[in-house]
Amino acid sequence: MNSSEGCPSMRPRPEGLNSANAKGGVYGVPDVLYQGFQNVRNDLTASHPLEHSEKEWRANQEKMDFAMLRQVQGIHAPLRLQMERNFANKIGRLPCLQSSHVMLDSLTGKDEEIDYEDILNSPADSEVSGQPHMMVEKQMGLL
């Protein structure tokens, strides 16, 4: 962050991941039944220098918007928006039911955009559905 302007930097920074973190199960071996197959190669390097910048575009845009909002309206404005977003994000359903996050999308402005995920990556359209009891137990930490 540049202290003279008060805004976050717009320059893309490379991802600095140089080690693989494989999630282990109870015995130190990845639990493929619960976590699925892991792809370590994608965790190690980015395929292009701008890939990390494009992945983090929305987060960087929010940082710049909050910095500008803080300079114009004071500290209360970005804090209030973050509080509203946190409340909207915590509204949920049982783990086996998909939530549309309509309130969060309207607060972030994502409801006015049509992305790839809106058409082809809807979790409600997936062919595989988990068992409700196992999903609740996993969320509660019983499994």
| Domain residue extents for the chain | 44-140
Phi, psi (rounded to 5 degrees) for 77? -65, -55
What is the chain's mean pLDDT, rounded? 79
Confidence of residue 40 (pLDDT cuts 50, 70, 90): low
* CB-based contact 18:44 (threshold 8 Å): yes
Q: State residue 106's pLDDT score.
A: 92
pTM: 0.60
**CA-to-CA distance for 121 and 107, rounded, in angstroms?**
22
* CB-based contact 96:135 (threshold 8 Å): yes
Q: State residue 99's pLDDT score.
A: 79
* CB-based contact 64:105 (threshold 8 Å): no
| 87-127 pLDDT tens trace | 998 887 777 777 788 899 999 988 998 887 778 877 666 66
Residue 3 scores a pLDDT above 70? no
The dihedral built from the CA positions of residue 33, 37, 40 and 42, taken in this order, carries a sign that is negative
Coil, strand or helix at 72? helix
Least confident of 13-17, 51-55, 62-66, 138-142: 13-17
